[in-house]
Amino acid sequence: MNLDRIATTVATDRTGNARVVLLGSAKRLLVNLARCGVRHMTAIDFGITKAPNIARQDASARDIGTPKVLAIARDVAEVNAEARVRAVLRDFCSLRPGEIRKICGGADLLIAAADSFQATARANQVALELAIPFMAIGMYPEGRGGEVFYRVPGVTSACHHDVARSRYEVLGGPESEVSSQGGTIFDLDFVDAVAGQVALGIITRGADNRFGRLLDQLAGRNLLLIRTDPGLRFGDRDFFAERLGSDPANFSFSTVALRCPADPACPYCSDKQGDTTA
């Protein structure tokens, strides 16, 4: 694949050697990482593409009845003939420890983009156990916004539990699940575009270019809140007005990056916090 036009901003030697594991069916995210030179990818999901997926996901009519991971593998190969996606048609939570180590061990990035919060929580635990970088992508109800959390050993300290503690407290119950029902393809693509750039920052960190410097510029701010609806609030708080001001020009389609500290009593990462500098 000819990457000449992006070589000044993306360290394609690093993306070409990086190994990315995706939990979920964020097809366009993997396809676009392949456009940036990522060649070694794994997609884990047990879902089958259905007709309603076409309206809000990166699916087409030819995908109906096809396992989502196989559709991802096909579309990635059509974009970058050098890229390969290992398709794992399984429920992530059903994988045995040995299978998880074989699939995820040594990965440069594990991304959780699943509908199931329980699967995201398991991925957070796996990333901590294997000491690999982790990213969790979430969409809010009606597609009014989303979030991107990341943890990189040696760079940030908090794990996903520390930023979503209330949902972990009811893990396994319906209260832990947040439906993205009503979110459109534009909402999902907006959030995935932010996630994709952070992913490039993680796998090319240290390169002397824009993406290679991204994590250093974030300076430990490990939670990105993304607004697609100007009315988005978190309870009574408007995090965007608090940080960007209340001028009408601060309308929407914006992102704020927050620094979330580690919880010393976290049952997931309290024994892992010494491996970071943040």
Per the structure, how many domains does the chain have?
A: 1
Q: What pLDDT score was predicted for residue 175?
A: 65
Question: Where in the sequence is the domain holding 180, given as residue range(s)?
Answer: 12-265
Q: What pLDDT score was predicted for residue 172?
A: 78
Q: What is the amino acid identity at position 9?
A: T
CA-based Rg of the chain, rounded to a whole angstrom? 18
pTM, two decimal places: 0.95
Residue 127 lies in a domain: yes
Cα 198 to Cα 224: distance, rounded to the nearest angstrom: 10
Residue 273 lies in a domain: no
Residue 3 lies in a domain: no
**End-to-end alpha-carbon separation of the chain, Å?**
37
Residue 32 token pair: 């676009």
Q: What pLDDT score was predicted for residue 278?
A: 38
**Chain CA centroid to CA 5, Å:** 25
Per-residue pLDDT in tens (0 to 9) along the chain, 278 residues: 999 999 999 999 999 999 999 999 899 999 999 999 999 999 999 999 999 888 888 889 999 999 999 999 999 999 999 999 999 999 999 999 999 999 999 999 999 999 899 999 999 999 999 999 999 999 999 999 999 999 999 999 999 999 999 899 888 777 677 777 789 999 999 999 999 999 999 999 999 999 999 999 999 999 999 999 999 999 999 999 999 999 999 999 999 999 999 999 999 998 877 554 43
Q: What pLDDT score was predicted for residue 277?
A: 40
Q: In what order do the strands lie in the sheet with 40-44?
A: 84-88, 40-44, 19-24, 109-113, 134-139, 145-151, 223-227, 254-258
φ, ψ (nearest 5 deg) of residue 87 = -95, 120
Residue 271 lies in a domain: no
Residue 5 lies in a domain: no
Q: What is the amino acid identity at position 188?
A: L
**In 36-116, which ranges are continuous DSSP H helix?**
53-56, 68-79, 97-104
Q: What pLDDT score was predicted for residue 275?
A: 53
Question: Residue 85 maps to which CATH number?
Answer: 3.40.50.720
Q: What pLDDT score was predicted for residue 261?
A: 95
